[in-house]
Chain A
């Protein structure tokens, strides 16, 4: 068994890895503060995966009528983030990557003065911005290629992307659904839900029961997308429209700030005067 690993990259960033958790971390500020923040991140990190694993059975169970009673701080972030979606099928695992990023970011900030910082957990990113500070985040999806400028005065502190090509299974066919929200965990859960909504039926779409691929999957017998062939344009538009509509519902419920979905060269942006709306499309 290999334990948690910490390393400094040549450009100064901190890399933390343990099992499936892979964090790239960068903090900005006075050198002493940055080093202190990195130390705190490393200290906090070692315990995260073992604690999560201890509650895995419950974390893999769908949330329904009862709020899941979890102990670990990361697990509780996960539950909190998926709770708004309990009317559809979702498990806390939908927010695991974002929740880990949020937790480590919080550990770094404790007692430190940082200008800005981010914790990038495989594309699900938790962000800290001091007043007056901003951060540019690049978004690269097929046909959707740009950068968003995140500023302190807007309530975005989390970015997450979901899609069938990603590491986790998706019930939908989106190449990507990128969400900006108040936390990485919230963005993570919403990206999962929106990516699932980008869906149509077509023979070019291949699906398999999740457990046929991964015996441990929280999606059990649900059909997950394993291949998407070229779809007729009208069908692409239809699938994108479903994703766009879902994103709009979530935005109007206050669950997300904005979202961008992409599928086979097409894309939709759901935003209202926010960073994504101003994103340059390259």
Chain B
């Protein structure tokens, strides 16, 4: 039998491993799963891949702890300091049976209980922050994946565009296809994979947690340093001695140095160059152009297009004009000729240096994906026989809520509505069920006496040592 089990040299070289979890004894190539789809070869290690169990059998009552990735702070067997995540814990629906793992441990001399489970979230979605000033689409515009509505554009934050994707109305409130496509997109985003989103009346953007957005095929490098007005405020003193006018082109607020408070304060002479758009306060203009993929998030490719007129009473031949976008990615240097027409010239070195400084001050553009969900209903019943007490305990911060070991922000108000950055969670934390709904690990940690007081299944608690002894676990101390 042992001969039969041994892998050939060639197989070992190819990274193949032998699974001994059942009599089939599959040979599994790297990155693939065995015949059962439960065990896989991940970098030469045999691991259980749990979301698949849920995928196949959402209402599984038998609970097997699965050695999916988990955030262990300690070492195997020591117990203290280790934290069991819900990943791979599996769950049951409904949850009136005790949660799969109720683990007790001692932390700083206090008996702690962590209730480890995986929640099935029918109310869930992601809030996506996309660091770009490029125009993604109008507010309320539908965001689509493969033609299906999966969410909408909400608002803009400073240097970023915000999308709300998923949510119960797309998951289960629309057609079955809409629900399935939404669930797929959420799953991919939460597991930090790239998803292409098409926005009605706007752009196509590829979003991936922790990576720069790609807008209409163009990778975003940096966030803007600020709006055009802010850029003037930041750099006016550095420009003063080298220019007669600076126009910082920005889709939100375009700044004009000599009109702006920043220029006035430095006693700069009005240059008489009038830009289009609607004046807000001196030197600050809204809507100098349409939103787009050009300079500073406008649709402008030739910056001179935003100049409405040049006032002959104020401007003079030889006037030196810098035009620059709010990321410093686009810039142009002009001098007015005898007819007060701007003519492109080579940019002087000191000016160039300030343009580069704008770019330097722009932070890398990233996409951030926050998973938001309601841990309502019966999930709580897996933690305690009196669910509302869990909610109250979370409210009073006696109970700490984590997802895959990452602390969740719990919204004020009723229920347990939480939000967590998927970037910090272990690999492949999320799964799904065909409802469609997402499955995410969730852990409730609290003092053992508090747990008993809120009607917890204290008698079901097992020690961390028992978990480590009885379950195949993967120790992943260095994973994020």
Contact = CB atoms under 8 A, between A and B. Distances in A.
Closest 10 CB pairs of A and B: A19-B22, A7-B62, A20-B36, A20-B35, A215-B27, A53-B23, A9-B61, A19-B24, A7-B61, A50-B23
Contacts of B34: 20
A49 interface: yes
Contact of B21 (A1, A24, A53): A1
B61 A1 contact: no
6 contacts: A9-B61, A15-B62, A18-B22, A19-B22, A20-B35, A49-B22
A167 B24 contact: no
A17 B34 CA distance: 15
B424 interface: no
Interface string A10-33: 110001011110101000000000
Given A20-B35, A145-B176, A214-B29, A1 B20 contact: yes
A256 B57 CA distance: 28
B24 A8 contact: no
B337 interface: no
B75 interface: no
A257 B452 CA distance: 58
Nearest to B16: A215
A84 interface: no
B106 interface: no
A213 interface: yes
Given A5-B62, A10-B59, A215 B29 contact: yes
Contact of A20 (B11, B20, B24, B59): B24
Interface string A128-145: 000000000000101101
Nearest to A5: B62
A9 B60 contact: yes
B322 interface: no
A24 B94 contact: no
Nearest to B19: A19
A167 B35 CA distance: 7
Contacts of A20: 22, 24, 34-37
A175 B94 CA distance: 31
Nearest to A230: B146
A262 to B, nearest CB: 12
Interface in A25-73: 49-50, 53, 56
B312 interface: no
B177 interface: yes
Interface string B425-442: 000000000100000000
Given A19-B22, A53-B23, A213-B32, A10 B61 contact: yes
Nearest to B24: A19
A220 B452 CA distance: 57
A19 B36 contact: yes
Interface of B: 11, 16, 20-29, 32, 34-37, 56-57, 59-62, 92, 94, 96-97, 176-177, 434
A212 B29 contact: yes
Most chain B Cβ neighbours within 10 Å, of A143, A212, A213, A216: A216
A69 to B, nearest CB: 22
Contacts of A19: 21-24, 35-36
Contacts of A214: 26-29, 32, 35
Nearest to B26: A216
B271 to A, nearest CB: 54
A53 B97 CA distance: 35
Nearest to B21: A2
A1 B25 CA distance: 9
A214 B16 CA distance: 9
A203 interface: no
Given A8-B61, A213-B32, A215-B16, A53 B24 contact: yes
A10 B92 contact: yes
A2 B60 contact: no
Contact of B57 (A15, A142, A216): A15
A214 B26 CA distance: 9
A162 to B, nearest CB: 15
B23 A216 contact: no
A140 B180 CA distance: 11
Given A140-B176, A215-B16, 20 more contacts: A7-B61, A8-B61, A9-B59, A10-B59, A10-B61, A11-B59, A15-B57, A19-B23, A19-B24, A19-B36, A20-B22, A20-B36, A22-B56, A50-B23, A53-B24, A56-B24, A143-B177, A214-B32, A215-B27, A216-B35
Nearest to A142: B177
Interface string A114-156: 0000000010000000000000000010110100000000000
Given A1-B23, A19-B23, A213 B61 contact: no
Contacts of A17: 62
A98 to B, nearest CB: 16
A24 B57 contact: yes
A141 to B, nearest CB: 11
